Each structure stands twice: as C-alpha cells, then as structure tokens.
Chains A and B, each alone.
Chain A
Amino acid sequence: MIRMENVHKAFGDNQVLNGMSLEIAKGSSMVIIGGSGTGKSVALKSILGLIQPDSGEIYVDGKPSGSGDRDKFLARFGMLFQGGALFDSLPVWQNVAFRLLRGALKRPQEEAREIAIEKLRRVGLRAKVADLYPSELSGGMQKRVGLARAIAAEPEIIFFDEPTTGLDPIMSGVINDLIREIVVEMGATAMTITHDMTSVRAIADNVAMLHGGVIQWTGPVSEMDQSGDPYMEQFIHGRADGPIEAVR
C-alpha cells in the first residue's frame, strides 16, 4: 500500500503540493486526474524519491518511502514516462532489458534479450523491433517500448505518467487496454496520472482529483460521475466555468 500524508512541495514561490493526502490499496489501480501543472507528476516523483517533499510523509507498505536500501526500494517499481524516456544510445531490446543487464537483477545477455523480446511481444511489438533504436520508432511504438521496460523486471508497483498523451485515439485505446491487462495479469499496484477521461474509465479502480495541491475528491471510478464534487464535475465534463480557473 502507498500512503501520502499531508505532503507539501513548493518550487520557489509556486506551492505545488499543499497538504496532499492519498491512499492506494495494494493491487489496485489508482488514477490521479487534474489539470496541467497541478502537481500530478510531482506527487508521483515524490513517492519514488526523485523529488524530495518539503514536508509530510510518504509510506510504501508501512515503511517511509526511500528508507533502507534504495536499489531494493526502486527495484519494486516500474515506470512509464510521459515521453517514453527511452535511452537514445541503446537499441530497443537493451532499453527494455536495462535492469536485467546490470545491478542486482543482472542476467546473462542472451536471457535478458529473450525476456526483452517476450515483453515486446506482450505489448504488441514484433521481435524485429528489438534491434532498432528509439529514434526509429513512432510515438505509439515508443510508448509500448516504455511500457515493456516498465514491466520487464515484473515490478510490484507500476507508475504511468500520462500514458496516452500525444497519441491518436486508437493508439490511446490500445495503450489503455494494455495497461489494464498487464496490471490485472501481474497483480501489480498501479498509479496513473492523466487528464484523459477515456484512460480513467479504462484503467482505474479508484480515482483521485488533484487541484490546488490537495486531493479534492477520491473514490471508486463507478462513483465518479455521481460524485457531486464541483471540481470533478467540471473536469469530467470539460467545462470552462466552475471552481477550476480556465486561465492558470
């Protein structure tokens, strides 16, 4: 389980997280929604320790986030980055098998390559893609490779940072379905940040609405449409009028 308690984070004068509290149950899929620049990525990176919160506590399975052996802690996570964040200098298979080629999870090169190709197949890519470089792939293929890399070491917790941004509706649907299937298949805890409502309905067990640095509403995805929360309603229906200012 992941628990955030009263987390604050500011960048200069810009208070991004202002007492954010949230719980994500083990094996569930939580989607955090909110407008651009509301701190969704900051929340996610704070859990991973990529950003240090100014105050507040973050626990993973009851232990403070980042405590103990950092490599072991990070080995429990997989992450799909918004732009893929694939390493340009490495071919696709080495990107996917990055964790399996070095460090505590190191395997023989042939075995790592086989696992990478299997994971590429799992996300719908052919084996011949393995030897291409990221710059030779389309945006949708890069997302799939990023997804394959996120699941390569079979992590317990997977983070998806805006998984469908920049993709056409059909490719977005494919990625949403893949995420849902993989999370269910692996029994992993998933945390996704997005502002794509189609993704929310396809991926989420639970939804949290982040605005003004705090969670305005959280609950099961089935109750989202009847939340009665003005922030949720405005966001779901994409209205310009409401408590969320259109000009930020």
Chain B
Amino acid sequence: MNPITLLARLGRAALAGMSAVGRAALFALSAFSHMIRPPYYPREFFYALLNIGWLSLPVVGLTAIFTGGALALQIYAGGARFNAEAVVPQIVAIGMVRELGPVLVGLMIAARVTSSIAAEIATMKVTEQIDALVTLSTHPMKYLVAPRVLAALITVPVLVGIGDIIGIMGGYTVAVQNLGFNAAAYLKNTVDFLEPLDIISSLVKGAAFGTIAAMMGCYYGMQSGRGAQGVGRATKGSVESAAVLILAANFVLTGVFFSL
C-alpha cells in the first residue's frame, strides 16, 4: 500500500476517534448543565433511582457475596504457601473495598443499567418518541438524560458500599465456616485494618463508575441509528464503552488515591 494512503487512513481513523471523544465529552457537559438547571423531573428521577439502585441490589449482592467467598479461599490457599493464612480478613477487606467492590459493581451496572438505558432511549429515538418529547416542549436531555445520570451518580456509591459489606461478609462466612477462623477476631481484624481513605476511594469510584455507566447508556441511545440494527449497535457500543471507561477510570482513580 502507498505510504501516503496508509498515512491518510491512519489520520482519518485518528480524527474520527478524536471527534467521537469530543462528541461524548460535549454530551456529558450538556448533561451536567441540564442537571443543575430547571425544569426538573422528580418522577423520572425517582423512577431512575428505583431502576438503577433498588432493582440492581440482587445482582450486586450475589456478585459481591460469591466474590468475597472466593477471595477468602484464594487468599487462604495462596497465603498457606508462606504461612500467611491469617491475613485473610485484611486482604479480603482491602481487596473488596479498594478494588473488587467498585469495579465489579461498576461492571454489573454497565451490564444491567447501561444496556437497558441505551436500548430504551434508542428505541424511543427510532419510534420518534424523542421528537414527540421535543414537540411537547420537553427537552430530552432534561427529561431522559439528567435524571438517569443523577440517579446513577447517587445510587451507585451506595450500591458499592453495600457490595463491599456483602463481599466482606462472604469472605467472613467462608473463613468462619470452612477455614476455622474465629468470628469475632475476623471482624475485629477487618475493622482495624480498613482506613477511611479505603472507604472514601471506594465510594468515589462508585460515583465515577455510575456516572460513566449512565452517561454511556444515554449517549449511545441518543446517537442511535435507525431500526433494530441501530438499537442493537447502540446497546452493544454503550456496554463496551462503559466497561472500558470504568476500567480506565479505576486505574486513574487508584493512582490518584494510593500513589500520591
């Protein structure tokens, strides 16, 4: 291939990528600006709270309890190689609170909530419901996007907190029931070991991941193409982007909190 053609292709791909990032960033800015300016739609906000927060509890709880249990078994087995089985409570606590709790909850929210928001808004776009909203003097960013992003920003840290506790309890159950740990000592070690920054980082990550998950769902939904294929592409793209951005944001936030 001619080097100039290759260069042109690379340039086009780079420009397209940057343009996509720019569009998503402008969309996010617009969403935040609509979030703080009236009119507000409390009914939509409470519906989003229920859908993103309350209805995600079962999947978050199950993910956390199994992960906490598996983590306890792994640490016990790994620690046994150098006589460090006793660190199970501390490592489960730090592992769940600093990393696995926020990341797994974030990914589960991306799977459950991002996909559902993207598919719902994309279907609304395809069936002209978004146009209908505009003709009824209702701004789609205020009515559809702002309530969902705000609800995720508020509820996902709570879900992460609950996930952290359930995960630790999963580890505790396995450690006490199967590995012969003393119940009171396990809990004391967990509480003594955790520092406020661990918990703060967990909740901040939750807020960031929740915002990313809802924002990507709304963005891809609003950008959807026509027909069933358009809805399918929007849903797939939203989950892929949300998952990658959550993992990238986790790396950046971990650096900010623990490498400074």
Contacts and interface: CB of A to CB of B under 8 A. Distances in A.
Contact of B135 (A77, A82, A83): A77
A74 interface: yes
Contacts of B127: 83, 85
Contacts, number: 49
Contacts of A45: 131
A74 B132 contact: no
Nearest to B134: A50
Given A102-B39, A103-B39, A85 B137 contact: no
B63 to A, nearest CB: 27
Interface in B131-160: 131-132, 134-138
Contacts of B132: 79, 81, 85-87
Which of B39, B128, B137, B138 has the most C-beta atoms of chain A within 10 angstroms of its own C-beta? B137
A108 B129 CA distance: 24
A183 interface: no
Interface in B87-136: 123-124, 127-129, 131-132, 134-136
A103 B132 CA distance: 15
B193 interface: no
B41 interface: yes
- Interface residues of A, dominant DSSP: mixed
A13 interface: no
A107 interface: no
A190 to B, nearest CB: 15
B253 to A, nearest CB: 34
Contacts of A102: 39, 41, 138
A246 interface: no
Interface string A77-115: 111011101111100000000110011100000000000
Contact of A81 (B123, B131, B137): B131
Contacts of B138: 98, 102-103
A103 to B, nearest CB: 5
A245 interface: no
Contact of A104 (B47, B135, B137): B137
Contacts of A50: 131, 134-135
28 contacts: A48-B134, A50-B131, A50-B134, A50-B135, A71-B137, A74-B134, A74-B136, A74-B137, A78-B135, A81-B128, A81-B131, A82-B128, A83-B127, A83-B128, A85-B128, A85-B131, A86-B129, A86-B132, A87-B124, A87-B129, A89-B47, A98-B136, A99-B136, A102-B39, A102-B41, A102-B138, A103-B39, A104-B137
